[in-house]
């Protein structure tokens, strides 16, 4: 399991660099990030959270693993509001407004271009992860931040 960086670590505030080629090193990173995400009981993880300032994310909201290199949101539609948590901000959760539907493109672990159309929790998760690549944390966007224990049973919480 990779070390998860927490708020205060500078890498979380850097704009991550694009990956030039999906090589073995990137494939290893994707695999180790997925293992770390599952181990930590998260539904998503972005490379800066494990100290790597590259545009790489993984997510699994219960519908299977999604790996994206250089992800980019092509469009956003609608609005949803819900609570999010973050493995890099262990003590807090906050209510964040996100797009309800998004279309994302990026490269998979073989370097092939893929498109992901999603809504609800998956859309929320991917927006949260892609924010990490730009050095944005959910607490920058949240309208209401509370201690995590206050709503620990909330099913919509994104723990990435
Ligand atoms: Zn996060």
Please give the Cα distance from 122 to 160 (Å, whole number). Answer: 12
At residue 155, the pLDDT reads: 55
| Sheet containing strand 113-119, strands side by side | 44-46, 56-59, 66-77, 101-107, 113-119
- What's the pLDDT at 149? 74
Q: Which of 9, 31, 15, 136 is nearest to 84 (CA)?
A: 136
Residues with a known catalytic role: 129
| Distance in Å, CA 25 to ligand 1 centroid | 23
* pLDDT score recorded for residue 153: 58
Distance of CA 130 from the midpoint of ligand 1 (Å): 9
Residue 154: what pLDDT? 56
Residues of the chain with pLDDT under 50: none
- Between the CA of 45 and the centroid of ligand 1 the distance, in Å, is 7
Q: What is the pLDDT at residue 157?
A: 66
Q: How far is the CA of 111 from the centre of ligand 1 (A)?
A: 25
| Domains (range + CATH), the chain | 10-159 (3.90.45.10)
H or E stretch including 117?
A: strand 113-119
Length of the chain: 160
Q: From the CA of 103, how far away is ligand 1's center (Å)?
A: 20
The model's pLDDT over 66-103, given as tens digits with 9 standing for 90+, comes to 999 999 999 999 999 999 999 999 999 999 999 999 99
Ligand 1 mean position, distance from CA 95 (Å): 13
Residue 29, both tokens: 């990173």
């Amino acid at each position: 399991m990779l070390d998860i960086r927490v708020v205060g670590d500078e890498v979380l505030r850097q704009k991550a660099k694009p990956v030039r080629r999906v090589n073995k090193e990137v494939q290893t990173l994707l695999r180790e990030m997925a293992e770390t995400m599952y181990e930590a009981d998260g539904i998503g993880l972005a490379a800066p959270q494990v100290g790597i300032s590259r545009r790489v994310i993984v997510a699994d909201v219960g519908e299977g693993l999604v790996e994206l290199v250089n992800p980019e949101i092509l469009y956003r539609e609608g609005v949803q509001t819900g609570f999010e948590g973050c493995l890099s901000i262990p003590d807090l959760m906050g209510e964040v407004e996100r797009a309800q539907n998004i279309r994302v493109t990026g490269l998979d672990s073989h370097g092939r271009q893929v498109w992901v159309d999603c809504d609800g929790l998956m859309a929320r998760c991917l927006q949260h992860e892609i924010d990490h690549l730009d050095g944005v944390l959910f607490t920058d966007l949240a309208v209401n931040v509370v201690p995590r224990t206050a709503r620990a049973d909330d099913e919509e919480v994104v723990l990435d």
